[in-house]
Amino acid sequence: MTPPSAGAVSPRTKLSAGDHKPGWSTGPAAVAVAALGPDGPLARAFAGYEARPGQLEMASAVAEALADDQILLVEAGTGTGKTLAYLVPAVQSGRKVVVSTATRALEEQILKSDLPLVAHALGLQPSVAVMKGLGNYLCRRRYRDLAATADPNSPRLSRSLRIIDQWLERTTSGDVAELVDLPEDDPILAQITASSDTRIGHQCPHHEECFVTRMRRAAERARLVVVNHHLFFADLALRGPHPGRVIPDYDAVIFDEAHQLEDIATTFFGVRVSRPRIAVLARDAAQGLARARALEPGLVPRSSSALAEDVEPASATFFAALAVAVGQGEGRVAVERDLWCGDLRSRWLDLDRVLEGLGALATLVATALRDRDPAMSGTARSVADVLEVVARRAELLRDQLAAIVDTGRGLVAWFEPDPSRPALSAAPVDLAALFRTQVFERIPSVVLTSATLTTGHRAVVVGSDGIALTADAPPSGGSRGDFGYLRGRLGLADPGLSVMEAVVESPFDFAGSVLLYLPRDLPAPGDAGFAAAAIRRIADLVAATGGGAFVLTTSLRSLRQLGAGLRAALPECRVLVQGDAPKSALIGEFRGTEDAVLVATMGFWEGVDVPGRALRLVVLEKVPFAVPTDPVVRARALALERDGKNPFVDLFVPAAAITLKQGFGRLVRTRRDRGIVALLDGRVTSRGYGRRLLDALPPARRTTELSTVREFAASMLV
């Protein structure tokens, strides 16, 4: 692929939903606008279709970017219809386009709703493929190997195998998500799904009927390939010093939910070693050696099998020593380079020696099998292939552990002390250079879109009723929709890159439909009395609205405090708390109840869609600042300090502004939605940075008075 030509940064385009004037001249932009316009094929195909000016503006910009090999940043407010605004020009472009999303819900919406709608209206049959990560697909070889060595006296394993056997007779995709009769946490799934560690490739006897092979071939043929961000960056990481690939080559990529790119990419440009991963290696090695012994009884001395059995104890001892060395902690705990001494270093070397021995044994047995049977019967070849993969996996684990232990400048290492799934990771602190070289200079056309990409400024006007109203025009000298934070984090700040920018305002009437409540009489979030005061105030707000509330917290500690407190304060209200049931079940019950209160943490600040009366109050506990002690956040802050920048101003505030916009965005999902957003953190009105946070939000009316909230709620419920 050729990179886009360098040049001066294109002027930013600010597009408002009311700005549209017809008259795009010719070319791809005109074609896309015509398709989505009031007299276009979509309008003719669907009764009640409503052409949206902001959608037309965005479609025009996307079509230009795809046609001219441009980079486009486009923030599209809620209700813009951004999915159709990029799918229509993508389908019309004739180019190989990858659409990458952050959530399964959006992926399903694209595949099951939006793309069929576009295809029907335009009279096209675009070739489309969906690609998921390897772990979503059953590996026929691993499944057959497990079935051949399974303990017949295990009722649970036998039942799981029967369910999978029956499913295999009817599945065409091999996607284990179809296994609805199998519990999601069934341990058999880790033993039968594909992975980059376990794939053999063309030598596998099941290669032609492999579900991953079929998925990849379908993607090769398709013009539009839908993936998630995790798979996209997993593929990008493979296209490194030793090129490989999962996704076929493409001409353009459209990142939806692009505000999540940096955090997701961090995982895939680093390394991660977990105890479950090592346990799976040990199990696969033991099974391979047992099958080799059955083929050639004298080939594998029984004493040699102890090497496979030694891996798990060595792994357990290593992770236990690591937990002691880093001390107590929740979430990610920093692992400094000088920690690798004494007992911890000894435990790492012990694990390294066991992995080295296992790899050497697997290679030795595989070579012996091939030497003894040059013709290689099917079973012997399969066993040799498995053992060669085991050897490669053992060597890779050794290399990755060594890389983490030897973490140098520009990398950060951390430990996740989950008792059942402890993991050790390392990743680059700054991904800007990687994004630039691996994405923006490599892929001809890149579109990044989301409802929350900017940290812009708005003027504030106080009406005669004392309610503040954010005006649509930017303050003097300011800018509406500042992409500076995103540009800096993703390597787009260099003026040598040509970048188009667009801000498409939401068509929703936030000023008429939403009240933003900013109380000034609560204790500061850090005070001991904040939680109790917050519980009382939330109870007041729920009483005013009659329920229908999301209470979004910023930590598990707050989740537990507010959840317990609200259940006590609201005995007649159905209070749901994240963790009591799966996320989908909680959302389903919340929608069905319509008067419930749901208390949840960061996983619910975005990607949750509850239109209509069921959600009419969103309470944001406090400003969602990143945790400063998180190893990755801390390393990024220190890197900014070394560059002479202020981490709070250049990292914490803009990141919080984007997350705050996501939380606010849970409330209004359709033109008919009305409600109240309450931000209980008084710092937004008492600290200088509060203006920047509030100015990034949609233009809702603002008040500091609870009486005004009650009046608004009463009018809303009429």
Quickly list DSSP for 646-688: -HIIIIIHHHHHHHHHHHHTTS--STT--EEEEE--THHHHST
pLDDT over 70 (residue 251): yes
User: In which band, very low, low, confident or very high, does the pLDDT at 377 lie, cut at 50, 70 and 90?
Assistant: low
pLDDT at 105 (0 to 100): 79
Q: What is the pLDDT of residue 510?
A: 93
Mean pLDDT of 284-302: 83
**In whole angstroms, how far apart are CA 218 and each of 111, 112, 440, 615?**
15, 18, 26, 41
The mean per-residue pLDDT over the stretch 691-706 comes to: 94
% of the chain residues with pLDDT over 90: 63
Residue 631 has pLDDT above 80, yes or no: yes
* Residues 243, 263: Cα–Cα separation, whole Å: 23
pLDDT of 472 reads: 38
In terms of average pLDDT, the best of 156-165, 238-247, 562-571, 709-718 is 562-571
d(CA 605, CA 622): 12
Q: How confident is the model at residue 456 (pLDDT cuts 50, 70, 90)?
A: low
pLDDT mean over 228-249: 79
E strands of 324-391, at which residues?
A: 333-334
Mean pLDDT of 238-256: 80
Packing angle, helices 275-295 and 140-149, rounded to 10: 70
pLDDT single digits (tens) 414-434: 999 988 899 999 999 999 999
By the 8 A CB rule, do 105 and 607 touch?
yes
Q: Each residue of 200-225: pLDDT tens digit?
A: 777 788 888 999 999 999 999 999 99
Give the C-alpha separation, 359 to 380, whole Å: 19
Task: Provide mean pLDDT across the span 648-662.
Answer: 94
Q: At residue 618, does pLDDT exceed 50?
A: yes
pLDDT of residue 26: 59
Three-state secondary-structure class, residue 617: strand
Produce one character per residue of 76-109: b if its CB has 16 or more CB atoms within 10 Å, e if not.
Answer: bbbbbbbbbbbbbbbbbbebbbbbbbbbeebbee
Residue type, 579: G
pLDDT at site 369: 87
Band of residue 474 on the pLDDT scale cut at 50, 70, 90:
very low
Residue 8: which pLDDT band, with cuts at 50, 70 and 90? very low
pLDDT given for residue 9 in this prediction: 31
For 41-48, what is the mean pLDDT? 87
Q: What is the reported pLDDT for 481?
A: 64
- Output 403 or 3, whichever has higher pLDDT: 403
Position 22 confidence tier, pLDDT thresholds 50, 70, 90: very low
User: Which residues fall within 8 angstroms of residue 415, CB to CB, at 6 or more apart?
Assistant: 322, 323, 326, 329, 332, 333, 334, 335, 422, 423, 424, 425
Task: Give the whole-number percent of the chain exceeding pLDDT 70.
Answer: 91
Nearest to 59 by CA among 1, 123, 40, 666: 40
DSSP structure class, residue 705: -
Asked which of 4-13, 19-28, 616-625 is least confident by mean pLDDT, the reply is 4-13
Please tell me the distance from the alpha carbon of residue 383 to that of residue 554, in angstroms, as a whole number. 50
Q: What is the pLDDT of residues 145-175, one digit of tens each?
A: 888 877 777 888 888 999 999 999 999 999 9
∠ CA 317-323-327, nearest 5°, is: 150
* pLDDT at 106 (0 to 100): 85
Structure tokens that stand for 53 in this block = 């000016």
DSSP H helical segments within 469-581, as ranges?
484-490, 510-513, 530-545, 556-569
pLDDT of residue 634 exceeding 50, the answer is yes
Q: What is the pTM of this model?
A: 0.86
pLDDT band with cut points at 50, 70 and 90 for residue 255:
very high
Residues pairing with 99 in the sheet: 226, 254
pLDDT, position 55 = 93
pLDDT above 80 (res 469): no
- pLDDT tier at 482, thresholds 50, 70, 90: confident
